[in-house]
Structure 1
Amino acid sequence: MTASTGAASSTEAGLGNLFAQGLLLAGRDLRRTSAADTVSTMVVFPVVFVFGFLALFGNLLRTRGIDYAQFLPPAIIVQWMFSVAIGAAFSFAADRRSGMLARYRSLAISRGAVVAGRLAADGLRALLAIAVIVVTGYAVGFRFQAGTPAALGFVALAVAFALTVSAGTSALGLVSRDPETVSSTLHVLYLPPLMISSAFVPADAFPAWIEPFVRHQPVTAVLDALRALADGGPTAGPVLKAAAWLAGLLAVFSVAAVHAFRRAT
């Protein structure tokens, strides 16, 4: 009995086990998504959205003195970080329905590895989407004008946003056994904070009664920081504001996700 308990403890404990097991679980999560789904979701659709919104609003925003090819890509990136987070909720709900979560809890593996594996898989999906959107943006005129460090900060902030939102959506996925319903619900819920933000038009284009909300909500904070990092000029204020929002949201979402994981069977 003691030997068995010791073996289980040695399998669950330690950073080495956490990383090794997390990588294995990340690989499993990535493999169960077909190549066709990955290409359509993370490659084709972002390209279509970049060219589509540019065609719709490019000339209109040019009359306001806005270079829409520079303005738009951060918005599409934020939109696709939401998509990554919705995929995390779908995966957790699917694992709960199939009994895989209960299986994880019965195995002598680090509980943190389940979360670490999901975060690693979501981070890779986010990086793929960011790369596709940036390359597409470059084709239409988007540029990183503040140098390599700011460009790396841009990518890091976008991934941090994806993982923060993933923590919140994962909490919803963990309390459901219906991945399709969770996914469709989240696709509706993410639209208001995205559309009522500076994603596709500047904040001053909104009616005066809602403009203060648009300017100070978290999605706009992240968008402002991404644009500052891409465009150059003062970046400390926008980045600190976005980081503060993400830190607060991550604290709340992480508590909810941990609580949901402990209750999931």
Structure 2
Amino acid sequence: MSKRFLVDTAVLTGRSLQHVLRSPDTIITTVLMPIAFLLLFVFVFGGAIDTGSGSGEGDYTRYLLPGILLITVASGISYTAYRLFLDVQSGIFERFQSMPIARSAVLWAHVLTSLVANLISLAVVVAVAFAIGFRTGAGPGGWLAVVGIVVLFTLALTWLAVNPGLTASSVEGASAFSYPLVLLPFLSSAFVPTASMPGPVRWFAEHQPVTPVVDTLRALFDQRPVGGEIWTALAWCVGVLVLAHVLAVRTYRRKLG
């Protein structure tokens, strides 16, 4: 990793972060839906859902929060594709190509900007969860593990968002890919145990990437052994990250010719 790449990435990331700071409504919009889901499920549906984790709003908030965090990330990465699409349409990529800038720095700047924006959104969601009764005995090590897994998950989905940002022909097309990702937690263990689901739905829920990530985060919050779920979660995150990165780099090189 060259010094030039690091310097160029830092400069371009600063540029992208300035755009985010000038329009904080993107972060506000990102957190509104996850917070609405959190409040809806805790205060409207929470009393009728048996998760086997006890009773009370605080118990269900703790059960629910991991899935809400992943929905927050899935919602936030749509803005990555959107901002990347605007840069492509404005022709700034061509201008960067004519400058002595490391090519990959352009993509990494968008990815790191997305990571920072998503971490801010996640912090807001966690603060709201604490306000409505979320409690955890997880220590510093547990929280570091939670942050690490969430960061890895965010990077995987963000690189996934780079591809539609580079190839979309409209603003709607650039951000629409995130809709299935937002819905994926609803077909996982995020809201109810998979054991309560019908056969085919249960099979899908137990073999898709969100469930092991949710179960791992929940175990860390509950101070329970994570078991083999953490390796499944890491395998999914790393696998998606590597595949999405390779596809994004290839798409970017083709676009630049």
Identify whether the pair has TM-score above 0.5, normalized to the shorter chain: yes
CA displacement at 1:63 relative to structure 2: 7.5
CA distance in structure 1 between the aligned counterparts of 2:94 and 2:44, rounded to whole angstroms: 48
CA displacement at 1:131 relative to structure 2: 1.0
CA distance in structure 1 between the aligned counterparts of 2:12 and 2:252, rounded to whole angstroms: 16
Which residue is equivalent to 1:5? none
Q: 1:47 touches 1:136 (CA, 8 Å); kept in 2?
A: yes
Which residue is equivalent to 2:217? 226
CA displacement at 1:214 relative to structure 2: 0.4
User: Could you give the per-residue CA deviations for residues 36-66 of structure 1, whole angstroms, max 9, x where no partner exists?
Assistant: 4144224444433322221222101257545
Which runs of structure 2 are paired with 1:125-136 in the superposition (5 Å)?
A: 125-136=117-128
Q: Which amino acid aligns with 1:29?
A: S
Give the CA RMSD over aligned residues. Answer: 2.0
Gaps spanning 5+ residues in structure 1: where? 1-13
Partner of 1:198, secondary structure, is coil
Which residue is equivalent to 1:11? none
Q: State yes or no: 1:55 paired with 2:46.
A: no
Which runs of structure 2 are paired with 1:1-265 in the superposition (5 Å)?
A: 15-33=2-20, 34-62=22-50, 64-66=52-54, 67-183=59-175, 185-265=176-256
Moved more, 93-102 or 30-39: 30-39
Q: 1:19 touches 1:116 (CA, 8 Å); kept in 2?
A: no
User: Could you give the per-residue CA deviations for residues 188-228 of structure 1, whole angstroms, max 9, x where no partner exists?
Assistant: 33244222112222212211222122012101111111111
CA displacement at 1:150 relative to structure 2: 0.9
User: Could you give the per-residue CA deviations for residues 129-156 of structure 1, whole angstroms, max 9, x where no partner exists?
Assistant: 2211211111222233231111111012
CA displacement at 1:30 relative to structure 2: 2.1
Identity of aligned residues (%): 32
Change (3 A) 1:57 1:211: same
Q: 2:81 touches 2:165 (CA, 8 Å); kept in 1?
A: yes
User: Could you give the per-residue CA deviations for residues 14-42 of structure 1, whole angstroms, max 9, x where no partner exists?
Assistant: 63222222122112222223444144224
Q: Could you state the TM-score of these two structures normalised by the residue count of structure 1?
A: 0.87
CA distance in structure 1 between the aligned counterparts of 2:51 and 2:138, rounded to whole angstroms: 25
Q: Which amino acid aligns with 2:154?
A: A
Q: 1:93 touches 1:174 (CA, 8 Å); kept in 2?
A: yes
CA displacement at 1:97 relative to structure 2: 1.0
Q: Which amino acid aligns with 1:47?
A: I
CA distance in structure 1 between the aligned counterparts of 2:51 and 2:162, rounded to whole angstroms: 42
CA distance in structure 2 between the aligned counterparts of 1:210 and 1:39, rounded to whole angstroms: 33
